[in-house]
Amino acid sequence: MFMASKNTTKRFHKRCLSSGTFANPSRPNRKRPFRSHENIMSVNASVETLPRATASRHSVQSAISVAHNSLTQ
């Protein structure tokens, strides 16, 4: 059986009282990847040229970062 420490229990209790949820608070200063029209066109061209290449390879060839599953969304 798993038992959480007292500090963990206190932290979750405090978070639940202040925000009404156990979820981690959002981080407004976190930078998210930006998909410009040029980036999308570059990846599309790369996929057409090498359809069996991995997403990582396409991102390297297009000089962009790719999050997991971002090419399928």
Structural domain boundaries enclosing 64: 38-68
Assess if residue 46 is contained within a domain: yes
Provide the whole-model pTM: 0.42
Assess if residue 13 is contained within a domain: no
Per-residue pLDDT at 66: 61
Q: How far is CA 16 from CA 1, 5, 40, 63, in A?
A: 24, 17, 40, 42
Assess if residue 12 is contained within a domain: no
The rounded distance, in Å, linking the Cα atoms of 37 and 41 is 6
Per-residue pLDDT at 5: 92
One-character DSSP codes across 46-73: HHHH-TTS-HHHHHHHHT----TTTT--
pLDDT tens for the chain, residues 1 to 73: 788 899 999 998 998 898 888 888 777 777 766 778 888 888 888 889 988 988 888 778 777 766 554 444 4
Per-residue pLDDT at 10: 92
Assess if residue 9 is contained within a domain: no
62: alpha, beta or left? (left if phi > 0; alpha if psi -120 to 50) = alpha
